[in-house]
């Protein structure tokens, strides 16, 4: 498994743990023990942690690992990793930004999606295609 996938999946697991913790705090608050005043902010952050921090980031890490690799000597095995690294950075910045500004978070998510698509586009080929063939 490539190093970027390992890091991405581990960060996704941290987001899962933090998301569960925030969810538990929300349930305690909902039961009548009012421990904080920012219920709506935490509820939205809980969504971003689990939806984007956990689920989408896990998918990014697995897709980077699983999608077809390059076999030629002129291109690195997994392609230009800097685009994928930028996508992982942008999605994590989006999750952090969700604690303050939802609009900024969505901008980071959009940037992450565009970077990841730009990275993966050359790796997606028809079944049985030669390395020089592309859509």
Does some domain include residue 81? yes
Torsion of CA 80, 82, 83, 89, to 10 degrees: 150
Does some domain include residue 50? yes
Domain that holds residue 25: 3-123
pLDDT 10s per residue in the chain (135 long)? 889 999 999 999 999 999 999 898 888 888 877 766 677 678 888 899 999 999 999 999 999 998 877 666 565 677 778 999 999 999 999 999 988 878 899 999 999 999 999 998 887 777 776 655 544
Does some domain include residue 57? yes
Does some domain include residue 133? no
The pLDDT value given to residue 135? 45
Angle between helices 81-97 and 102-120 (to 10 degrees): 160
Tally of domains in the chain? 1
Does some domain include residue 90? yes
The pLDDT value given to residue 79? 74
Report the candidate in 8, 119, 22 with the shortest Cα–Cα distance to residue 53: 8
Does some domain include residue 135? no
Does some domain include residue 128? no
The pLDDT value given to residue 130? 66
Does some domain include residue 131? no
């Amino acid at each position: 498994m490539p190093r970027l996938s390992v890091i991405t999946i581990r960060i996704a697991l941290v987001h899962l743990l933090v998301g569960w913790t925030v969810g538990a705090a929300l349930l305690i608050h909902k039961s009548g023990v009012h421990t904080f005043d920012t219920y709506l902010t935490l509820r939205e952050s809980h969504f971003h942690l689990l939806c984007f921090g956990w689920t989408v980031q896990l998918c990014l890490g697995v897709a980077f690992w699983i999608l077809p690799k390059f076999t030629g000597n002129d291109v690195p095995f997994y392609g230009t990793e800097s685009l994928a690294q930028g996508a992982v950075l942008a999605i994590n910045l989006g999750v952090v930004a969700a604690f303050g500004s939802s609009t900024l978070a969505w901008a980071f998510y959009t940037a992450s999606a565009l970077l990841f698509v730009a990275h993966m586009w050359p790796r997606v080929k028809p079944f049985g295609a030669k390395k020089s063939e592309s859509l």
